[in-house]
Amino acid sequence: MNTTQELHDIKALPEFHPIPWQWLLACTLLILFAVFIFRLIKKHRQSSKYLAPVRVVPPLEEALKRLDDLSSRRNTQGLTPRDFSSGLSLIFRGYLELTLDFPATDLTTAEIHLRLAGFFSSLRFSFQEDKAKEMTEHAKKFLAQLDRITFSDQTDSTLSIRSQSMDIALETARELLMQVDAGTRPKDLDNAL
């Protein structure tokens, strides 16, 4: 008897198909990339949903509106002199901050004076040198007066700002805003108008 014929498997070996690792890896990476892109697009759409169109209000127009609001609040609510002068100072400083692009609300009056003098003495603005000095001195005096009232140690009842003085302060603020606006306009725009 032949020994090779006697030795054989009882069952036939099942066919073994090797797993295509390259294809499996490629499909997994493709699915992960698709999920990443989908989430990125979803996040972008969600963030753009909440962006409402913003109406850009010129700084001068906004400051004048805030001055009118302060005036009406003074008449209806009877603002204290400290609150009135603080509000007036913040409106003027906020306008300077938006127009001249420096943190005017965080600076002292002397620092604002130096910044204004630097801006208006440069050649890119339409102010003459003497007019620039006059305007910066006027702004410094105006802000210093408001600071004295705002940071005074006296109680609000002993500070006497008459209604007429408040009206003068509002008009002074309007004049200063107009002067700064005229001074920040480049010479080319003045000649074109």
Residue spans of the domains in the chain: they are 59-192
**pLDDT value at residue 163:** 59
Q: Token pair 């080319």 is at which residue?
A: 188
Q: What secondary structure does DSSP assign to 3-51, as a single string?
A: HHHH---SSPPPP-----HHHHHHHHHHHHHHHHHHHHHHHHHHHHHT-
**pLDDT value at residue 127:** 54
* Helix (H) / strand (E) containing 136: helix 129-150
**pLDDT value at residue 53:** 67
**pLDDT value at residue 123:** 46
3-state secondary structure of 57: coil
Cα→Cα distances 70→6, 67, 80, 176, Å: 111, 5, 12, 16
- Report yes or no on whether pTM surpasses 0.75: no
Q: Token pair 């109680």 is at which residue?
A: 155
Angstrom distance (rounded) from CA 161 to CA 163: 7
**pLDDT of the chain along its 193 residues, tens only?**
555 566 666 777 677 777 778 888 899 999 999 999 999 988 887 766 665 667 788 888 898 899 889 888 887 887 788 888 888 899 988 988 888 888 888 888 889 888 888 877 764 555 566 777 787 888 888 888 888 888 876 654 444 455 567 778 888 888 888 877 776 665 544 444 4
